[in-house]
Amino acid sequence: MTEGGGKRCRVAVDAPGGPLLIELELPAAANIAEALAQARRLLQRSATPATGADAAIDWDAGATGIWGQRRERTAVPRDGDRVELYRALSADPRQQRRTRARKGAR
């Protein structure tokens, strides 16, 4: 824990250019939504306009989790937790497999 009753968390974002890890100090009662909002502000301040990384990240509706377990944005992470923001799949893996199987069957 940080001084003053806060906590430290790491936010992992699955960005198109590769994963981003952002270290945060949060109030003890901060939830996932608050952690993501702070991480977004930090990323916007540090990113160069040419990268456009923030525009490709679904900060508002992307699925979230803690240590690989899906969690709602209202969940409160503990000190030392890794909060994760997942990127939507570009295609359904089951449908891709079916398509490959059909092509191989001919």
Q: Where are the domains of the chain?
A: 6-105
- Between the alpha carbon of residue 79 and those of residues 11, 67, 83, 84, the distances in Å are 12, 12, 11, 14
pLDDT in tens, 44-96: 887 655 455 556 788 888 999 999 999 999 999 999 999 999 987 777 888 88
pLDDT, one tens digit per residue, over 22-31 is: 999 999 999 9
What CATH number was assigned to the domain covering residues 6-105? 3.10.20.30
Instruction: Flag whether the pTM goes above 0.85.
Output: no
Rounded to a whole number of angstroms, the distance between the first and last alpha carbons of the chain is: 61
The residue among 3, 4, 60, 2 whose CA lies nearest residue 32 is 60
